[in-house]
Structure 1
Amino acid sequence: MWEKLKQLARRYDEIGELLEVPEIYADPKKLRALTREQKELSAVVETYRAYQKCEDDIVQALELVSDPELKDMAQEELNTAKAEKERLFDELRVLLLPRDPNDDKNVIVEIRGGVGGEESALFAADLYRMYAMYAEKRGYRVELLNYNDTELGGVKEADFIVSGDGAYSRFKFESGVHRVQRVPETESGGRVHTSTATVAVLPEMEEVDVDLRPEDIEMQVYRASGAGGQHVNKTSSAVRLIHKPTGTVVSCQEERSQLQNRAKCMAMLASKLYEAERERVEGAITSERRAQVGSGMRNERIRTYNFPQNRVTDHRLTGENKNFNIDTVMNGDLDPIIDALTMQEQAEKLRESTEA
């Protein structure tokens, strides 16, 4: 562990020196790569150097403890430095855990109504609102790709990109079936119904990250429908791309020009093909998207939104604190859930690294 930290610190300093060389700015690709690597290393190197400083503080405090006049002050400083050293050690162990290479990427989120008819569509619309509010709280930007709504204000499907530093690291925990228990607006008898909506989360990939050959892609254009502004049904600006070798289909209709919609489609297609290739390498039988959302049946849920009991339960959390206030969650306060899931994942990785 310590040798690895020394290597990372040396590499961090080396990058700092390279970025001071004027010639590096003539190569934008290399500059971006070095800047990204420096950013990835900064947290662990800064924590390592803080740990080293704690060690120096402990040595100095131990030297002063033998002085009768400074003993009390030195002992206090010694206790503080030891506690801080222990905290930093735990932090370093977490920072050195294997990191998802996609964590810093933007994310493509797909929401679909599941079991429950119109009520599932209404719940899907609630989830879209929840994620849009969460993205705003985090300072992320949301770009709508598709929004196919219903007459009652529900959503059959909603696709959007969330852009911002670490967007995928936060949204990746949302993949799966979300279950809602409440009295639907369409229910006259006051009975509680159970419905579902599915959420798929993909890291946004660039075309250069995936081998996209023009001859493999069929493009179709059509008139936009649903929520789309003044251009709806007036021009054939909506775009659908079909990747012929795999049968993957993506579409976008929210931009005003065909060119803009095609660009968004290409990003979506690259992301889906990347996921499919990653699964193939990992030996997965079904695609990542199907693994995330399942069939939409009620028993394949990751989270339950129980309105009568005013709580949200995340079924992946194993501790006692897996219930959250439904009003705050539906208004975009997802950080307590995501933080708990992140800490649980880190604890599991630490346990695995210790057992290895």
Structure 2
Amino acid sequence: MLAVKEIDQDEVVAALRESADNPSAFLALNAGNAYFTDASSAGVVAFREAGRYLIQFGGAFAPEADRERLLHAFLGFARAARRRVVAVQLQQSDAELYARCGFTVNQVGSSYAVRLPDHSLRGTRFMKLRNKISKARRSGLEVSEVPYDKAADELASIDREWLRAKGRHVKEIEFLVGECGGPVQHHRRLLLGRLDGTAIGYISYSPAYGSRPGWLHDLSRRHATAPPGVMEAINSHALETFRDEGAEWLHFGFTPFVGLSPDHEVTGASRLTTRFMRLMAEHGDKVYPSASQLAYKEKWGPELVLPEYLAFHGRASLPAIWQILRVTKSI
């Protein structure tokens, strides 16, 4: 393992709140991440080590004036450790910076969000969604916000059943999705659905900072026997709660291999990586359930779609993509 300076997670939270403009930035606090800081600049870089690579998450979280300086310092750290940097889930402004700094950058997917103050499920567009929510509520579903420490056993039971239903060879995806528990849990919101007193589904929300502040729908699980509409009813309850509290945005997070467009690519994009992403968009559901995720997000009528990017320092590398799949436990 690389020797990195220990940094308190409260410092990471402070850096994200101050500088992050990535709606998924809070995932930088996932267990297992390491953090790089440098005395020459403010901010933090979150990453994981994977073989010969440092897999960086979400860009350099730093004030605008320090971002490039922090990125160069991190590249120097990687060179000294004989590692190559691969960055994933960059925003468009990150993509342009990284391309200037010697990275090969390609779009890898998109993220979706609804603006809460004006959002409504009225109209024919949302008729099917309203019907699913109503059916779940009529079945006796009760949705409430709960503290994690009071509901941890119920969540663990749902997780076990969720994994069992997926099959014994399926692993829980990590790194690019949310989690529950740990030292920053008090920053998250947890909504739980119960039917006849039994927990059957939950959604965890993390804070989203930057120019589109609000909440990130970052982890959801349900019992295999949960009736249709349970997750939609839980999210509708959260959406109404956050809107009433004055939150501006509900982000549905990143989905790989969707929303790909030549218009989103930056100068110097790899043709090989573009072909790979297109292939995954057409045939990659065994690696990641992109189609079902996209269908769930689109049913809420997102007003904002943001392209997200993958960046290789130097030339694009399929072995690096393989390491990302391993780190995320997608394979």
TM-score normalised by the shorter chain: which range applies? under 0.3
TM-score w.r.t. structure 1 length? 0.25
Larger Rg: 1
Q: Normalized against structure 2, the TM-score is what? A: 0.26
The answer to which structure has the higher helix fraction is 1
If asked which structure has higher relative contact order (CA below 8 Å, sep 6+), I would say 2
Larger fraction in strand: 2
